[in-house]
Structure 1
């Protein structure tokens, strides 16, 4: 039960009379279901959940929150690592019912409401052989992913998710509905492309679509962990001059217990290179042949497949309800020291669901002017996602300690950090995510559009 917050019943009743969605309180059936988020280690109890169906509901919920001086948090897909999309005592504005998607295949654009998940968007756009560059787990929310930047399988070909963003509809802290684009309200449009939910609630996104699939050459190739130094050394050289169409993620973990994994491999420490070629399948087959032929792989799942199938590849490794903890950093290069540290900590993995992911950057991401958006990691060589995970609370402390130790060992090589891979780590880390100049510009925007820091439950940029 939520404690410590009393909301005027008359105000709630007045809201209910015009609210098209659903208002859920702690005593209501379904409260526990609706308060939960993807990360099972997060256990918070809002005083009121406003499940909105559109911009009018969002504005009405904001008016109630302001009149009652409530702490407000906003949930799109609820997929953030630190669980900032739910709070204790205050109001949760849930956008999950806002599922509208309108694809224009001739103009190659899509209008997408803030409750849409990546898999839902892919389903609509792939019908026409088109896609928005997006993430790698299909039950991630489009909204949170986009507002932080948006890393994914086709970013080296087409850029980040924000690089295909044409406009947004955003509701400010004062309840004003604003359309923002390059030529209209350009300052907040710059800010929402990487600056998260600091400036308002985005209720709708307009994206440019790009040709992808419907079939791609994609999937992981696995080697035993004892081969990791040689595999990562080969990998470094192989991708040094690879085409933009090729995107890879190097993964170290214990082989997962999935039907596609041979039983005698399950639980063994492995290194994998997962790849996706965003171009013709036959070109992808040629480009990926050196990877598939290197050394002695113990499992090769890299093959032609529907893009929507490849997008689901990591879903079984990150289901709802497990306990997740992440530490992250960007590094300039995969040098010998970084490889040695990575292999050393990969061998120490104990949880069957803990993993290390090294995201290859570069390509179109790097070539876009770094000043164009608030996102600040365009010059990174690799983005590290160090996941210390457990299926329940048991053993979770140990996994978090492993992740922290690995991240600390990489400290001499840290450059920046991807804001969507932050936990609640404090203002200095948020500043590091944007760099000093962009952080100052974001603070100025915050002072203009949210001077009281009404939207505070995020990777917060304080206005003062």
Structure 2
């Protein structure tokens, strides 16, 4: 049987000009002045050269770009915020659907909903919703794009109080592989709606997200306390005990961070390089109540320093931004854990101390609360049952240091997998070197259902530059 040639076809100049003529947005080619900036992503490790970048402004632009990629068998990638650590927003030799100009946010403060276009970052949405004292449960770095975040779950400060980003999704506009523009919700294309909430970018280009909002801010209390790493066992255990006694409505969702004190002029010089364990948590309610509720996390032992206090929700959402500068180099992996026994914590501390870069960390995401309480079968997202997610973050600057830093992340991941029942968080995926095996493992018993949805909406697997689900045969 003859094998179909799957190599990209060369796009005739006439076809490029035909595409340009129907766009409201902009088409960028390698010889255009804007090309260098158009192919640049947040992660400086990514250096890819697409043949075409289509900066879309409408759903029709997106459909036209998809049609061109489909007709000429071009690799197709989708750029939302451009902040995905795996860099799959950019492709070599193909076409990039760039949503970065589609950043409108419409808030209905009475219905407590917000409709945000697919190029929005967390900052776009937060600034619009906070004018009304409302927030969607999004992530923890304001420059993150809402699209990649939501489609693969969405872990943020509000996860224990209000669930994941995908749990707050009420509806979406999706442009599918055949160019159809679909309004998707629980009553319209419910199979696709289920798959969008945790199944990644496998099913089309999502050009708008409508979220349920919750009263949060504008003033909140933020716990930001740093202890010596030698107390990591006690700090993490006491944090877990405190959460077990905390009502879900108060819902702080701590993030434990193991690393080394950076050479920051705002911090005492004698502590620079000191191994630490930090606890960060936001109380989503009244700041005065938050100070009292989070006090136990700040009094576990003598801290190295304590930067906790009242702040605005907008400032809390940008707290970590400077830790992740644009153009630095990033390689992350993740693993779920059933517990934080002494041996596990000692391994976390040991691996954090071995990191080649002082900017690298091993992070402990305390799960549970509302994100665990949502029905497991209600969304494609898996991993709700695990009480802890470990993020292994390799963060560095110099290209010459890449091999050592990537090696550290992989070694740490391999060691922690011994304690895990399997699964990763697809927003911290590494570069998916393990391919389909790890994707199947992560989706678990949801994989076959996702494959059936994939076959219905993208039978040719046009949207494959992601943690890919293969269309189900037949």
Verify same fold: TM over 0.5: yes
Q: CA deviation at 1:319?
A: 1.6
Distance 1:355 1:432 in 2: 25
The partner residue of 1:456 within 443, 447, 464 is 464
Q: Comparing 444-453 with 391-400, which one deviates more in the overlay?
A: 391-400
1:339 aligned partner: 345
Where in structure 2 are the equivalents of 1:186-225 lying within 5 Å? 186-225=190-229
Secondary structure in 1 matching 2:237:
helix
Contact 2:44/2:326 (<8 A) preserved:
yes
Greater shift in the superposed pair: 386-395 or 355-364:
386-395
Give the aligned partner of residue 435 of structure 2: 426
1:5 positional shift: 6.4
Q: How far apart are residue 4 of structure 1 and its match?
A: 8.2
Report what 2:407 is aligned to.
Answer: 401
Q: Map 1:22-421 to 2 at 5 A.
A: 22-244=26-248, 245-415=251-421, 416-421=423-428
8 Å Cα contact 1:15/1:61 also seen in 2: yes
Q: CA RMSD in A?
A: 1.5
CA distance in 1, matches of 2:150, 2:127: 18
Aligned counterparts of 2:188 and 2:440: Cα–Cα separation in 1: 27
Measure the CA separation in 2 of the matches of 1:193 and 1:50: 26
The aligned length equals: 461
Which runs of 4 or more aligned residues in structure 1 lie more than 4 Å from their structure 2 counterparts after TM superposition? Answer: none
Task: Name the SS for the 2:282 alignment partner.
Answer: strand
Structure-2 separation of matches of 1:268 and 1:23: 49
Moved more, 388-397 or 142-151: 388-397
Please tell me whether the aligned partners of residues 169 and 210 of structure 2 are also in contact (alpha carbons under 8 angstroms): yes
Question: Shift of residue 256 of structure 1?
Answer: 2.7
Provide structure 1 residue ranges, at least 5 long, that are not aligned to the other structure.
none
Shift of residue 179, structure 1, vs aligned partner: 0.8
Shift of 1:70: 1.0
Indicate the residue corresponding to 1:14 in structure 2: 18
Deviates more, 1:411-420 or 1:304-313: 411-420
Q: 2:447 aligns with which of 435, 439, 442?
A: 439
Q: CA deviation at 1:266?
A: 2.9
Please give the alpha-carbon distance, in whole angstroms, between the structure 1 residues aligned to 2:272 and 2:118. Answer: 38
Q: For each residue in 1:142-199, what CA deviation from the matched residue of structure 2 results, as whole angstroms up to 9, or x when unmatched?
A: 1110101111000100111111111011011000011110111100000000011111
Give deviations 1:108-156, integer Å, cap 9, x for gaps.
1111100000011100101111000000111100111010111100010
- The answer as to whether partners of 2:66 and 2:179 remain within 8 angstroms in 1 is yes
In 2: Cα distance, 1:154 partner to 1:204 partner: 21
Q: Is 1:351–1:399's contact at 8 Å kept on the other side of the alignment?
A: yes
1:225 and 1:347 in contact (8 A); partners too: no
Give the Cα–Cα distance (whole angstroms) in 2 for the partners of residues 310 and 427 of structure 1: 37
Instruction: Give the direction of change, closer, same or farther, for the CA distance of 1:46–1:81 in structure 2 (3 Å limit).
Output: same
Query: In 1, distance between residues paired with 2:110 and 2:238?
Result: 42
Structure 2: distance between partners of 1:54 and 1:428 = 36
CA distance in 1, matches of 2:426, 2:8: 31
Report the 3-state secondary structure (helix = DSSP H, G, I; strand = E; otherwise coil) of the residue aligned with 1:251.
strand
Cα separation, 2, equivalents of 1:120 and 1:163: 20
- In the TM superposition, residue 276 of structure 1 has moved relative to its aligned partner by 0.8
Please give the TM-score of this superposition, normalised by the length of structure 1.
0.96
Deviations 1:312-332 (A, max 9, x none): 111111121111111211111
Q: 1:153·1:247 contact (CA, 8 Å) conserved in 2?
A: yes
CA–CA separation in structure 2 for the residues paired with 1:394 and 1:237: 43
**How far is 1:262 from its partner?**
3.1
Could you say what secondary structure the match of 2:448 adopts?
A: helix
Residue deviations 1:378-419, cap 9 Å, x none?
A: 111111110122112121211111112222221222132212
Shift of 1:219: 3.5
Maintained 8 Å contact 2:8/2:73:
no
Bigger shift: residues 250-259 or 25-34? 250-259
